[in-house]
Chains A and B, each alone.
Chain A
Amino acid sequence: MDEAKFNAFTPEEKERIIEGIRKKYAKVAISPEGNFRYPTGRAGLEGQRYDPQTIDSLPEDVAASFCGVGNPFSLGKIHEGDQILDIGCGAGVDTIIAAMMTGFTGKAVGIDLVPSMLERARSNLAKTSLNNVQFLESSAEILPFDNDTFDVVISNGAFNLIPDKAKALHEVFRVLKPNGRFMIADQVLLGESPVDTKSMLATWHR
């Protein structure tokens, strides 16, 4: 991957990417159904082999808003008391599951760029009895947290949308505690990336 090419967007091009993300995910916030080529909602959770008891414990509206591309929790255990950050949390399904896993002595924080998705995440949270969850509007490129804050950073289908991935990865590394883990499910591009910026921007959300 040509890292320099991906980091060379002008502020206007970055704004176009972010506007495109907000436009697409404003629809997803209402319902992910029909907006993706893979199963969403409960079928998506089951397809990615999330723990059946966990799925059953989710309020139906929460499960219905799942649009992840994988199961980041399959990469490692969340321990009681862990501090967890969910990058690009969307409707907050994984953030809520992380909070259930870490228990009341831990905390899960979800960040997202899309106000309508955060609104859905807060609505989803209100349907649970959890009080160890926080949702914030933030870019992954400038995380509003101190160094060494989190035991685990997760992300599900969001990192591919970040314009400056190298910067975001440095931020994830910074906010992780020593021995902290980054567990990510995402889309990778097969073959060559588009040769010019115009084509790259046109296909950013695929």
Chain B
Amino acid sequence: MMVEAGFSEAELVSETGFNSSPVTKGVLLGASKRQIIEP
């Protein structure tokens, strides 16, 4: 979904250990908006 929005380098970095329910997991996610360099 992040890539479809245009992000690059989207990654799930790690778990946080804080889970709000038995079926969810706290995670850290990072992404960046790559600069488009015109030719």
**Residue from B1, B6, B26, B33 in contact with A70 in the complex, judged by beta carbons closer than 8 Å:** B26
Known contacts: A166-B5, A169-B1, A173-B6. The answer to whether A70 contacts B28 by CB under 8 A is yes
CB–CB A185/B16 < 8 A: yes
Query: Using an 8 Å CB-CB cutoff, how does the interface string of B21-39 with A read, 1 for contact, 0 for none?
Result: 1011111111111111000
Which of A115-123, A136-144, A174-182 is near enough to bind chain B?
A174-182
A71 to B23, CA, bound (A): 21
CB–CB B18/A69 < 8 A: yes
**Residue from B4, B30, B36 in contact with A166 in the complex, judged by beta carbons closer than 8 Å:** B4
CB–CB A180/B32 < 8 A: yes
CB A16 to nearest CB in B, in angstroms, measures: 19
The yes or no answer to A33 lying at the interface (CB within 8 A) is no
User: Which residues of chain A from 2 to 51 have a CB within 8 Å of any chain B CB?
Assistant: 3, 36-39, 44, 47-48
CB–CB B17/A72 < 8 A: no
CB–CB B18/A70 < 8 A: yes
User: Which residues of chain A from 167 to 191 have a CB within 8 Å of any chain B CB?
Assistant: 169-170, 172-173, 176-191
**Residue from B6, B25, B36 in contact with A187 in the complex, judged by beta carbons closer than 8 Å:** B25
Q: Please give me the residue from chain B that is nearest to A160 by CB atom.
A: B24
A1 to B3, CA, bound (A): 14
